[in-house]
Every structure is written in C-alpha cells, then in structure tokens.
Amino acid sequence: MRKPKVDMGVFKERRDRLKELAPGCAFLLSSAEELHWMPYRQDSNFYYLTGFDEPGSIALIRPGMDPEYVLFVQPKDPAMEIWDGYRYGQQGVVSEFGADKGILYSEFDKEAVEMLIDVDKLYFSLGNNAEMDRKVYALLDKTMRARGRTGKTRLPIHDPNDILGEMRVIKSLYEQDCMRESCRLSAQAHIEAMKFTKPGVTERQVLGVLMHRFFQENALREGYHSIVASGANACTLHYRFNDDTCKDGDVLLIDAGAEKNYYTADITRTFPINGKFSGPQKEIYDAVLKAQKEVISALKVGMAYFDMQKVAVKSLTESLVSLGLLRGDVNELIETHKYRKYYPHNIGHFLGMDVHDVGLYAKANEGRPLEAGMAFTVEPGLYVPVDDTEAPEEFRGIGVRIEDDILLTASGPEIMTKDVPKERDEVEAICNS
C-alpha cells in the first residue's frame, strides 16, 4: 500500500482556515487532467487543500459543514491498478487523507446536489476542463430545482483564487522550508552545470547535468521547461530548443529550477563558456548585476510591488546610456519605454507551487505593498539582438539575466538561492574548477 509522503496536518490546517475566510461557501476543485505518457502533476489548488495527487478526482470542501471534506475518487480496481498503479479508493482517502467521506467519482452528479443546497457561494474555476464545466452547470441546475421556491436561486460561481490565491501568496513556515529546499538543490544543479560547461559541449548535455542533480536530490520534476541558451540564443526569452553547441567566447544562460514537495525554484545564471568573460560581456553582466542588487537592497515590507520594476528600469536605463546602447535623457527614455528594446520583461513574479505563482500584484490599481512571507523572483536582464545594427557591434548577440528567489521577512529579504554565486570573479572561479 502507498502512504502519503507529507503530514496531512499541513492540508487540514489550510482547510480549517477556510472556516473564517469563507463561511457558508463551498470549494469544488477538480484534479488536473491526465495526459497519457506524461508525468502527472496535480492541480495546485487541489493539492494545496488536499495533498491528494490522483487524477480523476474531485474535492468538495464545505468549511464548517458536515461532511466538510468529501473526495470523489476512482474505485479500487485491481485490473486497472495493474496498468496505472495504486489507487487509494473510497476508504483510503478517509484513512490516509483525512476526508470525511470518500465517494466514487461516477456518483458525483447525483451525490453533490444535496451537499450544495445550503451553500451560499460556490468557488469553482471555470474554463480549465470542458467536461467538468458541463458537470458543474448541470449540478447548478439540479441544485436550483432541489432548493425549491425558497428565494435562493442559482448558486453564484466565484474564482477560487480570490481566497486560495491570497492564502498561497503568504508562505507558511512549512512552505518556506519547502522552498528553501527546492532552491538549495536547484542551486547545486546550477553550480554543477557551470563546472561541466566548456566549449564544444551541447546545451542538451548541460541540461542532462541539471536533470541528474535534480533527480539525485529527489526532485519531483523540473518546475518549468529549463532554458539552456548559449550565445545569441539567450536573447530569446523563452528559448526552448536547448539543442545548440556551446561555443568558445560565448556566454551560457541557464534558467532552471526543480520542483520538490510541489514547490519550485526559479534560478537564472549567465556565465562564460570558456571560463572568462570578454570585455563587452563583462559590461553587460555588471549592468544587470548592479540592477539586481539595487532592487534586492530596496526590498522591505511595505514597498509597493511595482516599485521593484521602477528601481530596475532606472538602473538598467542609466547603464544602457553609459554603454552607448541608448542615447538621450534617462527620464525621457524611461517615460517613452525605450529601454524595452533591451529589457522587455518584468522584474519578477510570485513563486511557490507554480513558477508564476498565484496572487494579486495590484489591488484597486495600486501596486500592493510587499508583505512578510511573500516569495518572488528578482530577475533583471539585458538582451542585445544579434541583428541590432543600432547597437555597438561588440554587444550584439549578448543576453544576460540574473535571477534569484527571495523570501521577504520582517527583517528584510532572504535570498533563498544565494548558494549559486553571481559575482563575476566567483562565477569564473567555479567555471574553471
């Protein structure tokens, strides 16, 4: 028999919080769809509240009601389990996952109606799965009829992220430890990739070094499709081919992070393939590192989220002018967004169960203030297109991004990915070791 690998108290605590955050409401969460031959990953909100990672399941959670936590699951079926592996079944989800009731998935349409009659609001994520959407529309019709002429009409549907997104944006102590672990092991993988890389190896082989370390450390999977981009490939922000040869004199940009315990890291480092940055590479690298350090040193509880980008844009635009990549007045270049030619993305994003994690960046059109317990990336970059005839020739084809994962605490930022060096001389020393 399989056993859950995480203490179920973690998930119960989260469900218990819903009693205060969403009384009278029900959460209906559908498991992620299964794509055969691909590794299965549970839907993040589903996992966040249940810890249950089987496909073909539905969770119905009614905070404070009885039964409060129901899992609709696939039946125990020895014939099917020979093909697809162990299933917990109706009894298993009660004994191992703390569900109040386990019901067969095939009974959902019939059994769920009664459980929604006294609910005021339904949290359900429309648009992820057409079959599930149809089930829910039919369920709402049946529930409305079952309610009779009580003045209660159709149940309104709300986005679960209104509640769960805001819960997930502040990481608990358990989550902070999970994230530190993903960051630690991903940092090791980056260091090994730096040591391995030399002229003539392929991006694919470097990817293999990263994956080897990820899985040696019992990661569940890559947190996202890794980017191993040599030379001008680094100027493609979501470069995904990873099949070129690393050339002497170029830099290699690696953006990769492992997911462990359902939490992912997201690290980028850029380093010289032959172990020594060229003059122009140094200048671009230093500009990006300076911007990144300026953002990180400005971080504190209460800072507006969007101010991180403002700090980065100011620093990078000043550097672009002093490098001769842009000409003109810095403030005007910022106002007219001219910097976007070389810095086309944002400073970062929330990080957690998903690499671009849930949570609002703005409330009422104001950048939200940063809070203790938030985890996010700080990832400025500069990318000079190889065919940019306006750029000084020596910079063309250079792409640099430096990305760290931050946990904001009451006393300031904790850089969870600090184990991978980013000072130029330290990076070169590792590349040459």
Told to check if 266 binds ligand GLY by CB under 6 A, we report yes
Identify how many contiguous H helices and E strands the chain contains and give both numbers: 13, 19
In our burial notation (b when 16+ CB lie closer than 10 A, e otherwise), range 50-69 reads: bbbbbebbbbbbbbebeebb
- Minimum Å gap between C-beta 341 and ligand GLY is 20
Rounded Cα gap, residues 395 and 295, in angstroms: 24
The CA–CA distances, whole Å, from 192 to 12, 39, 212, 392 equal: 38, 25, 10, 34
Q: Which does 54 bind (CB under 5 to 8 A by kind): ligand GLY, Mn ion, none?
A: none
Give whichever of 256 and 273 is closer to Mn ion, judged by the CB atom.
256
SS3 152: coil
> By CB under 6 A, what part of segment 212-241 binds ligand GLY?
224
Told to check if 53 binds Mn ion by CB under 5 A, we report no
Q: Which does 224 bind (CB under 5 to 8 A by kind): Mn ion, ligand GLY, none?
A: ligand GLY
Told to check if 54 binds ligand GLY by CB under 6 A, we report no
Q: Which residue has the tokens 């690696």?
A: 254
Give whichever of 236 and 278 is closer to ligand GLY, judged by the CB atom.
236
Q: In what order do the strands lie in the sheet with 263-264?
A: 221-222, 258-260, 263-264
Number of residues that bind Mn ion (CB under 5 A): 4
**Binding track over 365-384 against ligand GLY, x by CB under 6 A:** --------------x-----
Rounded Cα gap, residues 52 and 35, in angstroms: 18
Told to check if 222 binds Mn ion by CB under 5 A, we report no
- Point out which residues pair with 256 in neighbouring strands: 267
Give whichever of 283 and 403 is closer to ligand GLY, judged by the CB atom.
403
Residue 7 tokens read as: 């203490």
Q: Which does 318 bind (CB under 5 to 8 A by kind): ligand GLY, Mn ion, none?
A: none
Number of residues that bind ligand GLY (CB under 6 A): 7
Out of 54, 175, 203, 255, the only residue in the binding site for ligand GLY (CB under 6 A) is 255
From the list 83-91, 138-146, 339-347, 402-410, the region that binds Mn ion by CB under 5 A is 402-410
Told to check if 255 binds Mn ion by CB under 5 A, we report yes
In this structure, are residues 230 and 155 in contact, taking their beta carbons and an 8 Å threshold?
Answer: no
Q: Is 425 exposed, middle or buried (0-12, 13-18, 19+ CB in 10 A)?
A: exposed
Contact positions toward ligand GLY, by CB under 6 A?
A: 224, 255, 266, 349, 355, 379, 403
Contact positions toward Mn ion, by CB under 5 A?
A: 255, 266, 377, 403
